[in-house]
Amino acid sequence: MPRASSSVPDQSTVTAPAASAAVPVPSASSALLTESRIARDAGNYAAAAASIERALRIEPNNAVLWLEYAELRMAEGDLEQAEMLARKTASLAGDDRSIQEASGRLLAEISSRAR
C-alpha cells in the first residue's frame, strides 16, 4: 500500500528536535529512517517498525524519529499507539515549530479517524 504524503521531512532535511540550528540526524539513524520509509512504502510494516525502533535506540530523544513511528502505527491502524507516540513527539519537539505542527496535524488526523 503506498504511503500517503508524510508530514515528516525527507531524509535530506531531517533535523534533531529543539536545536537552535539545523542539526542532521546521525548517519546510522538517517540510514535506518530511510530503511523504515522504504519498508513502509512497500507495505512491510513489521520491517519498517524494526528499523525505526533501532533508530530510536540510537537516538531516543529525536522527535523526528518518534513522529515517523507514530505515522507508521497510524498507517497500521493502531490509533491508540499512534496517539501515544504523537504525544511523545510533541513533548520532545522543544522549540521546533515544524515538528510541533506535524505532531499536531497527526493528532488531529488520529482524532478524526477515531470517530
d(CA 109, CA 50): 24
pLDDT tens-digit series, residues 53-97: 999 999 999 999 999 999 999 999 999 999 999 999 999 999 999
> What's domain 24-114's superfamily in CATH?
Tetratricopeptide repeat domain (1.25.40.10)
CA dist 42 and 18 (Å) reads 31
pTM, 2 dp: 0.77
DSSP assignment of 30-68, as one string? HHHHHHHHHHHHTT-HHHHHHHHHHHHHH-TT-HHHHHH
Where do the structural domains in the chain lie, given as residue ranges?
A: 24-114
Cα 82 from Cα 14, distance rounded (Å): 20
Enumerate the β-bridge partners of residue 38.
Answer: none
Give the distance, in angstroms, between the CA of residue 59 and the centroid of all CA atoms in the same chain: 13
Average pLDDT rounded to a whole number, residues 24-29: 74
pLDDT exceeds cutoff 70 at 23: no
Handedness of CA 84, 31, 105, 13 (dihedral sign): positive
List Cα–Cα distances, 51 to 7, 10, 20, in angstroms.
Answer: 19, 16, 27
* Cα separation, 31 vs 33, whole angstroms: 5
